[in-house]
Structure 1
Amino acid sequence: MTLDWTRDLPAPEALREPSPGTGASAPGTEPPAAASLLITPVQGIGEIQAGDNLVELIGWACGRELRSGDILAVTSKIVSKAEGRVLPADRRDDAVEQETVRVVASRAHAHGITRIVENRLGIVAAAAGVDASNTAEGTVLLLPLDPDASARRLCRGLKRDWDVDVGVVITDTLGRPWRQGQTDAAIGAAGLNVLLDLRGLPDSSGRPMSATVTAVADEIAAAADLVKGKTSGVPVALVRGLEALVTVGGMDRDPGAKALLRPAEEDMFRQGSAEAFEDGRRSGTRSGYNAGYDDGHAAGYEDGYAAGYAAAASEARRRARSTGG
């Protein structure tokens, strides 16, 4: 299946270079308008094994169709397989623990326990992204060690072998808070702006937008998944019509998909509600215990001091009587 969206819009104008270190277009930049957007499945890549050359396999599968300005959406699973990120299924729990940095939420259910965690890449996902789907029986796949670096290698290799400047988005399926179902999102990227900063531009009513920053890399990943699917054996899609997002020569200095991760200080929902409640209960109990201990200690000290003073006075009076004083 090929998706072809056409709109009666002017051809896109090139964006300015991304703001250094942000992975986004410069604030207030005129957004690109894709006159036509074509998403095509890349057939013929086949099953990937550890050590396979993805640049060669993807390049030959695209053939002479690949041209500068294209964007390739590449499923993370083939990157993981090529990089040897495969483990026996009986080591899954250990792998999840090793990949986990922070537990966000966990729920017990009839089939076990689902854990939503932040992994070492900063991505919040179920089971740290360790997955048993679309891999050989008895194995699990870990996410690539560095998806942004993997995307940069693909960009460089395709430039070297096919003389094209393309963007690459490494995609993976993620759940979403407050929404049913999953969708593909960008976990690695190179050669394109991953965020489109529209702050300062007027909206359709002429009012300046103050908070709109579009996650275009995630939108590309989700749209490409409509073509790749989950069971069709098509791990790569070619996206054409978003040339304005491609940053020629920018792959070595942009931050890639890391720019899509929300900083901890901006995260209003850093824990699941049950975990936040339990932390609050423990903290309150501990504070109450400490306060009670401190109060008891102070009261005991005061009582002991008074009792000691009374005992000393009584002893003094006893001695006075025994000496006839």
Structure 2
Amino acid sequence: MEIEIIGLKGIPLIKKGDDLSQLIIQAAVLQGIQLSNEDILVIAETAVAKAEGHVIQLEHVEPGEKAKEIAKHTGKDAELVESIIQESNEIIKVGPDFIISETKHGFVCANAGIDESNVDEGLATPIPVNPDISAHEIREKLENNTGKSVAVIISDTQGRAFREGAIGTAIGISGMSPLWDRCGELDLYGRELKTTSIAVADELSSAASLMMGQASEGIPVVIIRGVNYFQKLRNESATIKPLIRPKQFDVFRE
């Protein structure tokens, strides 16, 4: 299998009301690229949140007592901490410079996924309200406009338990299943796989992150082409939920 990872250049800074599907098509044309069947588009969640107007003006946030207390412990601004609380189902752990929470979507991550990078001063972008719906709407428009069968992944940059550094992680998906259950297949020695499930949406998000970068690269959309398991995992009703481990199986949370 040979995979291409293509960063779309020339997409302008996103503002509320922008049609991401049209911006993607226009950027592709300018770059001499045509969408193909089985292309997978990975889109940074910040771009989606900004297009949907899901942006926090921190100066308008009124911190509560809990936020003020956590702010003292973490060194974070109380307005940001209050925003994290508001975007969370549960605050799981507070450290000297981090807050781990479960978001309203069920993701366990730092700062409820709220990002202060690549937005104007005083603003922050939380995770889109429903990344699966966002992905579905973008995919539907792309397919209607191009006649091609594609998948869309909304990605976020997140850390991982027990490891340093952040990677691209899938938080929304449309057009393909996020997990590839390979149980029943045989390994190189003929042994049957019993528990092997591959988080392909996260793998693809991490691959796209190599091109997106984390600073001033200005590439919020990446096309991944040549994924040979696309048809095997094609699923027009897929959601990100299969990637979220049920709380009853979370052996690290009290």
Category of TM-score, reference length = shorter chain: 0.7 to 0.9
1:242 equivalent among 227, 238, 244:
227
CA RMSD of superposed structures (Å): 1.6
Output the CA distance in 2 between the equivalents of 1:270 and 1:68. 42
Alignment check: 8 A CA contact 1:191 1:246 kept: no
Residue 44 of structure 1 pairs with residue 10 of structure 2: yes
Whole-angstrom CA distance in 1 between matches of 2:223 and 2:49:
20
The answer to whether the 8 Å contact 2:41/2:221 transfers is: yes
Which residue number corresponds to residue 66 of structure 1?
35
8 A Cα contact 1:166 1:246, kept in partner: no
What displacement does 1:39 show?
A: 0.3
Question: Which of residues 225, 242, 250 is equivalent to 1:267?
Answer: 250
* Aligned pairs (5 A) from 1:1-325: 35-63=1-29, 64-90=33-59, 91=61, 92-107=80-95, 109=96, 113-231=97-215, 232-246=217-231, 250-251=235-236, 253-254=237-238, 256-271=239-254
Q: Secondary structure at the match of 1:159?
A: helix
Which protein has the larger Cα radius of gyration, Structure 1 or Structure 2? 1
Q: 1:190 to 1:181 in 2, by over 3 A?
A: same
Letter paired with 2:149: D
Shift of 1:67: 1.1
Cα 1:248–1:210 change in 2 (3 A) is closer
* Aligned-partner SS, 1:36: coil
Show structure 1 runs of 5+ residues with no match. Answer: 1-34, 272-325
Counterpart of 1:260, as a letter, is L
Separation of aligned partners in 1, 2:253 and 2:87: 18
Q: CA deviation at 1:89?
A: 2.6
* AA aligned opposite 2:18: D
For 1:100 and 1:158, how far apart are their aligned partners in 2? 32
Runs (4 or more) in structure 1 with deviation over 3 Å come to: 246-250
Letter in 2 for 1:38: E
Comparing 198-207 and 77-86, the one that deviates more: 198-207
Residue pair 1:39, 1:224 contacting (<8 A) in 2 also: yes
Determine helix, strand or coil for the equivalent of 2:149. Answer: coil
The runs of 5 or more residues in structure 2 that have no matched partner are 62-79
Q: What is the letter of the counterpart of residue 178 of structure 1? A: F
Q: Say whether the 8 Å CA contact 1:193–1:247 is kept in structure 2.
A: no
| C-alpha contact (below 8 Å) 1:193/1:246 kept by paired residues | no
Equivalent residue letter for 1:242: V
Mark the CA change 1:247 to 1:235 in structure 2 (over 3 Å): closer, same or farther.
farther
Superposition deviation, residue 244 in structure 1: 2.8
Write the distance in 2 (CA, Å) between the matches of 1:234 and 1:89: 26
The letter of the residue matching 2:252 is F
With structure 1 as the length reference, what TM-score do the two structures score?
0.68
More helix by percentage: 1
Sort the Cα spacing of 1:249 and 1:39 in 2 relative to 1 into closer, same or farther, 3 A: closer
Q: Give me the identity figure in percent.
A: 35
- SS of alignment partner, residue 168 of structure 1: strand
Distance in 1 of aligned mates of 2:83 and 2:241 = 22
Structure 1, 262-271 or 73-82: larger mean CA deviation: 262-271
- State the TM-score, normalized to the length of structure 2: 0.87
